[in-house]
Amino acid sequence: MKQKTRKTLMLIGRVLILTFFLLAVILPIYWMVITSLKTAPEIINAQSITYFPKVTTMENYASLFEMYNYGQLLENSLIVSITSGICVTLLSILGGYGMARYDFHGKNSLVLLALVTQMIPSILVIIPLYIIFSQIGLINTRFGLFLFYLMSNLPFCVITMRSFFERFPHSLEEAARIDGCTKVQSMFKVVLPIMTPGIIAVFIFAFIGAWNELIAGTVFINTPDVWTIPVGLKSLIGKYSVNWGVLMAGGVLALLPTAIMFGFMQKYVVEGLTAGAVKE
Amino acid sequence: MKIVMKYLLFYFILLAAICLIVLYAIHLHRKHKKSVRPRNKINLEPFFYTAPVFILLVLMFGYPLLNSFIMAFENYKLTEPDRIYINGFDNFTKIFSDSDFLLIAKNSLIYVVLCVLFQFIFGMILALALRKKFRGRGVYQAIVFLPWALSGFVVGLLFRWSFNGEYGIVNDVLLKMHVIQDRIPWLGTPGYSLLVVIIAMIWMGIPFFAIMILAALQSIPKEIYEAADMDGCGAIKKFFSITIPFIKPTIIMTLLLRTIWIFNSFDLIVVITGGGPANTSQTIPSYMYTMAFSSYDFGMAAALGVVLIMVLGLYSIFFLKMTKYSQAGDF
């Protein structure tokens, strides 16, 4: 009997904890979405703050595109994130494969180098890069931003890819070779298809890393035509009146792609996160 | 043009130095191996795979970093491009005599300690609650882990809006619950503004801890718990004698990585408070950012960065020594 009540108590405790965390995540996001659907007078009515909009409106989203050129921001963000994501993934496959399959001189230092880059404050690299970029004309270009995201997301992705490859049984590859596959064939026909989830996870890391980045964007880009979403939205705050409805709408649109990606690929992303940071 | 030449020259010297070191290492390596077994050809294949990564890291990371170190000893202001010269340790003396530096160092410490502590505690609780399978766990995880995928910028916006003094939901809820009598201008009050940043950071970082701890928990073999049950161990005893020792390496690694990562990240500060009011929510990296791109004093910013790196390095060594990580596993 005592055992049973204890078990029920444990269950109740667990449900309470899980509910708490669920609400802690959902409520702030709910507040964001709700704000973006309110009309401007309702948002800044300090006397009665409404928890559900009296009048639901899409005007914030509309003005985002009409007045603040959100389409251009979206395009810039997509171009930079997708291209850097693809390149990071390709380089990670190469590097990860080399680091997992071969023993060579300097391999450990390369791993260490990649780890150390994770520990150095990015601003310390951004400052000199700003000078270098302005000397070679990469300031205010998407290419400069692409280069930076390529560099900043690569170390973590290589290490993650390496541990994915380490888990992949070498014997499978050897079997393919014995059956007459060339190295390239065995790579494309055996290794990569099995590794697809891992590759997608790495792409998501690189994509999210570039998509969410703010500081380098603000430093390297000054012309509105090349702004990414965070940089463009940041320019809307700091003025005397902040249009919170529009900002929240922009925020919702900015988090949508990452949230969808993460939601569908959560299992692999989680696997990649744990594989990348902790050595087994 | 002159500056470009200077950089090019510098760059070539750097490359040459790297090549020399690599050649020397290969030379040593061969000499060393000769005595053990017959000399064999070095397999170039792995270098082909890893070279792009290596070159990119050296060019885009190592080289700028080197520049930063040099800049730290220079009078380098973007507003005075003709007066760039080496000034020794001037930047460093200026930093340590800056009256705000103590405040900023204190802010950084409070920010890091509170964030890491609460992320760890909440992450642990969430991981323990998620350990047993239940219906819909996948969907639940996808929602609860979502803050990990959100950008600091969006999270910053969200918290800045929620803690808004006039129209914010936090004040409204607290007023309705009669916790406070008047609206608190969170972001305009020294102390509170840093607190808002800390809360936002904790909110964002819980998933990472939970993910890591959960993975470690799931790797503990079930048989051990069964054996403990047979021996009549209680839940608390099991937790401290089995669970904790098993996940200790993961905890240590995650704590180390996260502490440094949290310390370095400052986009939340830029978005939520901008360091204000009067630097009371400024941390060292965000101060560097302000120094570089508001006062355009690159030399000072770089010097701050050098101080920061030294602190982080000392912390890592100290932390790994303290936790005896070398015995728990390898890096």
- Give the pLDDT band (50/70/90) at residue A280: very low
- Give the pLDDT band (50/70/90) at residue A278: very low
Q: Which residue has the higher pLDDT, B307 or B11?
A: B307
Residues B247 and B168 in one domain: yes
Domain final position from B91, B115, B149 = B91
Question: A85: burial class by Cβ within 10 Å (0-12, 13-18, 19+)?
Answer: buried
As a whole number of angstroms, the distance between CA B318 and CA A38 comes to 52
Residue B27, domain extent: 2-91
For residue A136, the chain B residues in CB contact (below 8 A) are 4
| Lowest mean pLDDT, pick from A108-117, A246-255, B113-122, B240-249 | A108-117
Q: Is the predicted pLDDT of residue B1 greater than 70, yes or no?
A: no
User: What is the domain count for chain B?
Assistant: 2
Provide the mean pLDDT of chain A.
86
A39-48, B88-97, B302-311: range with highest mean pLDDT: B302-311
What pLDDT score was predicted for residue A235? 87
Domain final position from B91, B126, B158 = B91
What pLDDT score was predicted for residue B19? 66
Residues B51 and B102 in one domain: no
What pLDDT score was predicted for residue B329? 42
CA distance A47 to chain B (A): 9
Residues B250 and B320 in one domain: yes
As a whole number of angstroms, the distance between CA B66 and CA A238 comes to 34
Q: Which residue of B has its CA nearest to A206?
A: B149
Q: Is the predicted pLDDT of residue A272 greater than 80, yes or no?
A: no
- Give the pLDDT band (50/70/90) at residue A1: low
CA distance A38 to chain B (A): 13
Q: How many whole angstroms from its chain centre is CA B147?
A: 17
Give the up-direction half-sphere exposure of residue A132: CA atoms within 13 A in the CB hemisphere: 23
Q: What is the mean pLDDT of residues A248-271?
A: 87
What pLDDT score was predicted for residue B330? 40
Q: Which residue has the higher pLDDT, A268 or A257?
A: A257
As a whole number of angstroms, the distance between CA B133 and CA B217 comes to 13
Question: Which CATH number characterizes residue B197's domain?
Answer: 1.10.3720.10
Q: What is the pLDDT of residues A17-52, one digit of tens each?
A: 999 999 999 999 999 999 999 888 888 777 777 888
Residues B279 and B137 in one domain: yes
Contact B57 A118 (CB under 8 A): no
Residues B50 and B109 in one domain: no
Contact A212 B150 (CB under 8 A): yes
Alpha helices in chain B (DSSP H): 2-34, 45-57, 63-71, 90-97, 99-130, 137-144, 152-162, 169-176, 192-218, 222-230, 235-238, 244-264, 267-272, 284-293, 298-322, 325-328
Q: What is the pLDDT of residues A81-133, one digit of tens each?
A: 999 999 999 999 999 988 888 888 778 888 888 888 888 888 999 999 999 99
Q: Which residue has the higher pLDDT, A148 or B80?
A: A148
Domain final position from B32, B65, B91 = B91
Q: Which residue has the higher pLDDT, B111 or A1?
A: B111
Q: What is the mean pLDDT of residues B296-307?
A: 90
Across the interface, of A18, A24, A45, the residue whose CB is closest to B140 is A18
Query: Among residues B126, B325, B111, which one has the least CA distance to residue B208?
Result: B126
**Complex prediction ipTM:** 0.89
Interface test with A, best of B27, B112, B151 (most A CBs within 10 A): B151
CA distance A83 to chain B (A): 16
Q: What is the pLDDT of residues B236-252, one digit of tens each?
A: 888 888 888 888 888 88
Residues B132 and B236 in one domain: yes
Local structure of residue B77 (DSSP, 8 states): B
What pLDDT score was predicted for residue A150? 93
Residues B45 and B114 in one domain: no
Q: What is the mean pLDDT of residues A147-164?
A: 90
Provide the mean pLDDT of chain B.
83
Q: Which residues, including other chains, have CB under 8 Å from residue A192's CB and lie 6 or more apart?
A: A93, A199
Contact B138 A115 (CB under 8 A): no
As a whole number of angstroms, the distance between CA B179 and CA B174 comes to 5
Local structure of residue B180 (DSSP, 8 states): -
Q: What is the pLDDT of residues B136-183, one digit of tens each?
A: 888 899 899 999 999 899 999 999 999 988 888 888 888 888 888 888
Residues B125 and B195 in one domain: yes
Residues B149 and B134 in one domain: yes
Q: Is the predicted pLDDT of residue A243 greater than 60, yes or no?
A: yes
* pTM for the whole structure: 0.86
Tokens of B33: 């191996």
Residues B146 and B70 in one domain: no
Contact B285 A123 (CB under 8 A): yes
pLDDT over 90, % of chain A: 36
Residues B132 and B29 in one domain: no
Q: Is the predicted pLDDT of residue B286 greater than 90, yes or no?
A: yes
Q: What is the mean pLDDT of residues A218-237?
A: 90
Residues B156 and B263 in one domain: yes
Query: Among residues B158, B286, B215, which one has the least CA distance to residue A215?
Result: B286
For residue A214, the chain B residues in CB contact (below 8 A) are 151-153, 267, 270-271
* A73, A84, A220 from B19: Cα distances, Å: 42, 28, 31
CA distance A229 to chain B (A): 10
For residue A263, the chain B residues in CB contact (below 8 A) are 142-143, 146
